[in-house]
């Protein structure tokens, strides 16, 4: 009976069974590796999605800040322009009356007689 265990057919059966077991292990390892790769891909996509959302939020803040800064600058420019206009008007107002009087005296018939 001891000899019966080590016959070439029995050895071939054991080798074949071992090979089938190794193939099953290899297939299981490949499936596990595929699952891990897929899980890592999904995790990477989730991280990328979150990073994009955070970046979009930051960009929105920067845009809003830039728009507010631009509005402030425009208001400052308008205020400065308005102040300069008022200054020029105030400076020109006393001269306006004498210029108008001078023009009227040039075109008025009464002024021609005095010349």
User: pTM of the entire structure?
Assistant: 0.52
98: enclosing H helix or E strand: helix 8-107
Residue recorded with tokens 């265990």: 5
The pLDDT of residue 1: 46
Ordered per-residue pLDDT tens for the chain, 115 residues: 455 567 988 999 999 999 999 999 999 999 999 999 999 999 999 999 999 999 999 999 999 999 999 999 999 999 999 999 999 999 988 888 888 888 888 888 775 555 5
How far CA 103 is from CA of 88, 99, 111, in Å, comes to: 21, 6, 10
**The two structure tokens encoding residue 18:** 């071992």
Q: In b/e form, how buried is each residue of 53-63, taking b as 16+ CB within 10 angstroms?
A: eeeeeeeeeee
């Amino acid at each position: 009976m001891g000899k019966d265990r080590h016959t070439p057919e029995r050895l071939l059966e054991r080798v074949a069974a071992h090979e089938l077991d190794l193939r099953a292990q290899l297939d299981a390892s490949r499936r596990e590796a595929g699952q891990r790769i897929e899980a890592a891909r999904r995790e990477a996509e989730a991280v990328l999605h979150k990073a994009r959302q955070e970046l979009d939020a930051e960009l929105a803040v920067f845009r809003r800040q830039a728009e507010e800064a631009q509005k402030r600058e425009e208001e400052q420019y308008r205020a400065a322009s308005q102040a300069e206009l008022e200054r020029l008007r105030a400076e020109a107002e006393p001269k306006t009356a004498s210029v108008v009087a001078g023009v009227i005296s040039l075109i008025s018939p009464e002024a021609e007689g005095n010349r």
